[in-house]
A and B are shown apart, each in its own frame.
Chain A
Amino acid sequence: MRVLAGYPAKGPGFIAGFGLEAFLPGLSRENDGAAVKDFRVQPQLLLGAKL
């Protein structure tokens, strides 16, 4: 899930916001390849452009 704010409303511009990523035991892997042991939800910051 992500929630973004964009400017301007129409046309090229900027976007910024945050997202949530769920890590599920048995399905997800950490960056180093290890299996995820406990369920957790991790926030993410998002920054970008709309072209």
Chain B
Amino acid sequence: MSGLVNVAGGDSKGAQVALVNFASHIVGTQVGLVNVSDRIDGWPIGLVNIEKDGVLQTELWTEDISSAMLGYAFGTRVAYTIASVGFGFGASPESPSASLGIGARLTLGPFSATWTSRGASSSATRVPSISRGPRAASRCASSRAIPRRAPAL
């Protein structure tokens, strides 16, 4: 246990508790704001968790039919953090949004199953649409700095 930074070389067992933790191989838990290891056999608890053999992946996906999302996931083999940005397109354009979340990952043969909860998201000013019709007036009238995106669970 240490106050700010805890560094453990070689193999270690038990819990590392500090603001920032570094370990070569740990069997146990890392508790801190930032946890870094070559390999961890256990669960890290922190905002940023990085393992050499862990998740380090860029993802590109679409939600519904109007959002393009780009995310970067980083973490251990079982727990990761994901930062993402979103852009609207199509019939209902929306302002860019950014979010940060945590997730857990399970490997099932050739497949992986992940669960993610986006804890924080924000959206910039709505961009007025140039489309015609009654909906265009509604969009322009609400072109203040209003978050469009609902909080993700």
Contacts and interface: CB of A to CB of B under 8 A. Distances in A.
Interface residues of B, number: 39
Contact of A4 (B58, B114, B117, B148): B114
Contacts of B58: 50-51
Contacts of A1: 115-118, 152-153
Contacts of A4: 113-116
A21 B59 contact: no
A6 B71 CA distance: 15
B151 A28 contact: yes
Interface stretch (B6-14, B21-29, B39-47, B137-145): B137-145
A8 B149 CA distance: 31
A46 B62 contact: yes
B112 A6 contact: yes
B126 A33 contact: yes
A31 B153 contact: no
B152 A15 contact: no
A36 B151 CA distance: 12
Given A7-B111, A29-B142, A51-B58, 14 more contacts: A2-B118, A3-B116, A6-B113, A8-B111, A9-B107, A15-B61, A27-B150, A29-B146, A31-B92, A33-B141, A33-B142, A45-B64, A50-B57, A50-B58
Interface of B: 57-64, 66, 69, 92, 94, 107-118, 126, 135, 138-139, 141-143, 146-153
